[in-house]
Structure 1
């Protein structure tokens, strides 16, 4: 069999067998940086795995903080909803046989509530108010509407200021039937 070119060169003496030089530094485990500061920078170099671990810990902290804030907001919403429900319980003045319709603007749309003649006069005078709860519009006393406004003003759909009965700034009477 033919010898390899390497073997032939070694036999002829043209090339000498070179042994790698052994380093005089003690062996250290793979993947760990040297103990001293990095050469030329003056600050220690952060290992890539350590940087990933630090970033992971920071992301975990941020995620847990966001979860705590969301849970706190949900708890506050539940408490507010319960308070509103307790406040409105048994105080609705809606009548099933009401014939007249009172239109009002709420959340950018025209809404309506059915009232009788005395309720319409009281609503336009500011003695009654309309609140939105659970997808319905409830007719309540002014005091109840004011209490609800303190809890969450977004639920008060219509509350006429006393003394401004008759016409709004647009000149159209409140009791005008459409």
Structure 2
């Protein structure tokens, strides 16, 4: 009873000794690429039926079309667009204002340098008030008299005090009303009160 399965199969006539020897031989190492199953040779020489793979039918629902935005989403999108346009318009206005200011500064600087009447070797100190500060400028005697008469004005350009004619100062004020210009307006002499005699 202790016969092995092999002995039992031989006695029963189910296998032959050649088949057993062939089964006991070591198998060669499998190759790295296995032949495709479709083309594997068959032992009985019957043609291998080719099995067509069934076409996969998508059971998925059709792709959803972009859904309509809700009223709230439409409102927020419109508001964001309006805010963006307003911001762009404000930035454009700021750029235009900055460009106009730059152009005005350049025109003012050109007017001042073209009509500058400062004298380098002037020796009379002329004091004038700007706000709460007392500033000074060295002028000639003729310039001092013209300043006192209101015929010359003092303007600042690049931190330098410049003397310019009154008509140029008025042109500059027309271009840039915020420009600081010191103009002396001579006061009319007041009439002395008559004493009752």
2:82 maps to which of 47, 58, 64: 58
The structure with higher relative contact order (CA 8 Å, sep 6+) is 1
Unpaired runs of at least 5, structure 2: 1-63, 191-197
Q: Is residue 130–residue 138 contact of structure 1 (8 Å, CA) maintained in 2?
A: yes
Residue 164 in 1 paired to residue 153 in 2? no
Residue 46 in 1 paired to residue 75 in 2? no
1:146 maps to which of 149, 163, 170: 170
Residue 102 in 1 paired to residue 129 in 2? no
- Report the alpha carbon displacement of residue 124 of structure 1 after superposing the two structures with TM: 0.6
Q: Is residue 125–residue 164 contact of structure 1 (8 Å, CA) maintained in 2?
A: no
Map of 1:136 onto structure 2: 160
SS at match of 1:154: coil
Larger Rg: 2
* Residues 69-124 of structure 1: per-residue CA shift (max 9 Å, x gap): 10110121122112212222331111222222222222553322221222111111
SS at match of 2:125: strand
Partners of 1:65 and 1:109 in 2: CA distance: 41
Normalising by structure 1, we get a TM-score of: 0.60
Partners of 1:83 and 1:30 in 2: CA distance: 57
Partners of 2:105 and 2:125 in 1: CA distance: 28
Partners of 1:133 and 1:148 in 2: CA distance: 12
Map of 2:135 onto structure 1: 111
Partners of 1:108 and 1:63 in 2: CA distance: 40
Partners of 2:154 and 2:100 in 1: CA distance: 24
Map of 1:82 onto structure 2: 106
Partners of 1:143 and 1:158 in 2: CA distance: 13
How many pairs align? 127
Map of 2:6 onto structure 1: none
